[in-house]
Amino acid sequence: MSEAFSPSHPQCSWQELLQVPDDTSLSSFMLESVHPLKPQYGVPCLVEGQTGRKITIAEMRARTAALAAALSTRYSIGDGDVVMISSPNHVDYPVIVWAVHALGAIVTLSNPKFTKYEIMKQARITKATLLILHSSVITTISSDLTQLGVSTDRIVSFGDIGRLWNCSVEDLIAEHHSKNFSIDHSVNLGGDRVAMLALSSGTTGVPKAVKLSHRGLIVNILQMACHIAQSSIKGFNPGDIVLQTLPIFHVAGFVFGMTVVVTEQYDFLRMLEDIVRFGVTTLTLVPPQAITLCKHPATRYFPLDTVKMVFMGAAPVSEDLSRSVAATVPGAQVGQLYGLTEVSCSLSMTHPEHSSIGSSGKLLPGTEARVVRFDGTLADFGERGELYIKSPCSALGYLDNIDATRETFCDGWVRTGDEVLLTSENELFVFDRIKDVIKVKGFQVAPAELEGHLLGHPDVVDAAIIGISHPYSGQTPFAFVVLREAAERRTEKAEQAAVLQASILNYVSERTAHYKRISGIRFVHTIPKTPSGKVLRRTLRESWEKEKAREKARL
Same domain, yes or no, for 426 and 518? no
Report which of 435, 460, 428, 446 is spatially closest to residue 524, judged by C-alpha positions: 460
Q: Contact, 45 vs 61, CB < 8 A?
A: no
Write down the pLDDT at residue 301. 95
* pLDDT for residue 540 is more than 60: yes
Same domain, yes or no, for 416 and 275? yes
* pLDDT for residue 187 is more than 80: no
Inside any domain, residue 253: no
Domain boundary (433, 451, 474) is at 433
Question: Measured between alpha carbons, how far is 219 from 248 in angstroms, rounded to an integer?
Answer: 18
Span 10-58, pLDDT tens digits = 444 656 656 777 778 888 888 887 777 665 655 788 889 889 999 888 8
* pLDDT for residue 231 is more than 80: no
Neighbours of 254 (CB within 10 A): 23
Span 244-261, pLDDT tens digits = 887 776 544 444 456 888
Same domain, yes or no, for 9 and 68? no
Span 137-151, pLDDT tens digits = 888 887 788 888 788
Same domain, yes or no, for 442 and 382? no
Same domain, yes or no, for 350 and 485? no
Q: Contact, 269 vs 298, CB < 8 A?
A: yes
pLDDT, mean over the chain: 84
Same domain, yes or no, for 53 and 175? yes
What phi and psi, each to the nearest 5 degrees, are found at residue 479? -110, 140
Inside any domain, residue 199: no
User: Which pLDDT band holds residue 242 (cuts at 50, 70, 90)?
Assistant: confident
Same domain, yes or no, for 226 and 149? no
Q: Contact, 120 vs 145, CB < 8 A?
A: no
In the chain, the percentage of residues whose pLDDT exceeds 70 is: 87
Q: Which of 194-208, 284-298, 405-419 has the lowest mean pLDDT?
A: 194-208
Residues 6+ apart with CB under 8 A from 443: 111, 250, 314, 513, 515, 516
Write down the pLDDT at residue 437. 79
* pLDDT for residue 269 is more than 90: yes
User: Which pLDDT band holds residue 78 (cuts at 50, 70, 90)?
Assistant: very high
For residue 80, the enclosing domain spans: 21-190
Q: Which of 1-15, 147-161, 183-197 has the lowest mean pLDDT?
A: 1-15
What phi and psi, each to the nearest 5 degrees, are found at residue 542? -65, -40
Is the preceding omega at residue 44 within 30 degrees of 0, hence cis? yes
Mean pLDDT of 361-384: 89
Q: Is 368 helix (H, G, I), strand (E, B) or coil?
A: strand
Same domain, yes or no, for 121 and 136? yes
Inside any domain, residue 88: yes
Write down the pLDDT at residue 149. 79
Q: Contact, 510 vs 553, CB < 8 A?
A: no
Give the pairing of strands 82-86 and 54-55. Answer: unpaired
Give the pairing of strands 208-213 and 155-158. Answer: unpaired
Same domain, yes or no, for 27 and 97? yes
Inside any domain, residue 198: no
CATH number (domain holding residue 463): 3.30.300.30
Domain boundary (433, 454, 480) is at 433
Inside any domain, residue 363: yes
Same domain, yes or no, for 95 and 222? no
Query: What is residue 341's DSSP assignment?
Result: G
* pLDDT for residue 110 is more than 50: yes
Domain boundary (376, 404, 433) is at 433
Write down the pLDDT at residue 4. 58
Inside any domain, residue 254: no
Q: How many domains does the chain have?
A: 3
Write down the pLDDT at residue 253. 42
Question: Measured between alpha carbons, how far is 79 from 58 in angstroms, rounded to an integer?
Answer: 26
Write down the pLDDT at residue 180. 66
* pLDDT for residue 3 is more than 80: no
Span 291-307, pLDDT tens digits = 889 888 899 999 999 99
Question: Measured between alpha carbons, how far is 399 from 411 in angstroms, rounded to an integer?
Answer: 18
Same domain, yes or no, for 288 and 378? yes
Mean pLDDT of 505-532: 88
* pLDDT for residue 205 is more than 70: no
Question: Measured between alpha carbons, how far is 360 from 362 in angstroms, rounded to an integer?
Answer: 7
Q: How far apart are the first and last CA of the chain?
A: 48
Q: Contact, 476 vs 470, CB < 8 A?
A: yes
What phi and psi, each to the nearest 5 degrees, are found at residue 371? -110, 125
Same domain, yes or no, for 304 and 421? yes
- Quickly list DSSP for 462-530: EEEEEEEEETTTEEEEEEEEEEPHHHHHHTTSHHHHHHHHHHHHHHHHTTS-GGG---EEEE-S---B-
Q: Model pTM?
A: 0.83
Inside any domain, residue 255: no
Write down the pLDDT at residue 472. 86
Inside any domain, residue 153: yes
CATH number (domain holding residue 37): 3.40.50.12780
